[in-house]
Amino acid sequence: MSLGNSPEDERPFEDDREEARPSIGRALQQARIAAGLTVDDVSSATRVRIAIVHAIEADDFDPCGGDVYARGHIRTLAKAVRLDPAPLLAQYDHDHGGRPAPTPAAPLFEAERIRPERRGPNWTAAMVAAIVAVVGFVGFTAFRGGDDDGGKTQVAEGSNPSTSKNASPTPKNDKPEDTEPAPSDSAIAAAPQDKVTVQVSAADGKSWISAKDHNGRSLFDGLLKQGESKTFQDSQKVNLVLGDAGAIQLYVNGKKIDEDWQPGAVERLTYTKGDPQVG
């Protein structure tokens, strides 16, 4: 007769440890609730359909359409609720026979990351062209101003003082440079006082944006790519959901909102008339 624990006695303890670990769907659901987000919020921020979000939180991955899509949805939902996707993906691979081999569907997820980068060179080229045009205009103006100064010098050296009257208009050539408008501190400094005006700019990366008026009607729901901006107005208030607040720069009623939002943070905001204030 053995006084020690047999292997059979130890097996239930190991099973209890496995049961203590939450499932993938349960972990995602708990993280979403802890972040104060609804299924609609997560669906809007990630573009994963509501039905698929519900299915994944119930540990039903069949609606995903395959392991490749399921792993992609798990990674996307984990990031939206501020959860590390690596342990969830490892758990999924363990439960479903290991990581799947590459399939032709994989480039679908790569295309979503590459597409914004392909637009970068076009935006850069447009900026370079604009700078070249401005430099050329300034150079042309300076060249014309140099010619006028030369004519003024020749008149000053002449013996006829009456011709000096023609030189008096020459300072007018400097006016285009003085009248050039200085950059405004706010892109919407002239916002009307009887409305709330909100400008959202994706300054540091792309982000999903949801904007609604005071009646709950949708003003915008989609992806804002880096360098793009949207302006929303309402008579009372504007409600915002920022999928990646760290990439966003806000101007409310002509004033810049200085908030230290972290990359990947999901923020729910409300702005009204008057001084900017977070609702």
Domain ranges of the chain: 9-95, 119-178, 196-272
Note the pLDDT of residue 154: 44
Give me the percent of the chain exceeding a pLDDT of 90.
29
Distance CA 106, CA 104 (A): 6
Rg, the chain, Cα only: 31
Check whether 168 has a pLDDT greater than 70.
Answer: no
Check whether 84 has a pLDDT greater than 90.
Answer: yes
Note the pLDDT of residue 4: 46
In eight-state DSSP terms, residue 103 is -
Phi/psi at 112 (5° precision): -70, -30
Q: Check: pTM over 0.75? Answer yes or no.
A: no
Phi/psi at 206 (5° precision): -85, 160
Instruction: Please say whether the beta carbons of 229 and 199 come within 8 A.
Output: yes
Say if 9-95 and 196-272 have the same CATH topology: no
Q: Give the helix/strand (H/E) hosting 24.
A: helix 24-34
Greater model confidence, 33 or 177:
33
Give the architecture-level CATH label for domain 196-272.
Sandwich (2.60)
- What mean pLDDT comes out for the span 192-217? 88
Q: Which CATH superfamily is domain 9-95 in?
A: lambda repressor-like DNA-binding domains (1.10.260.40)
Check whether 48 has a pLDDT greater than 80.
Answer: yes
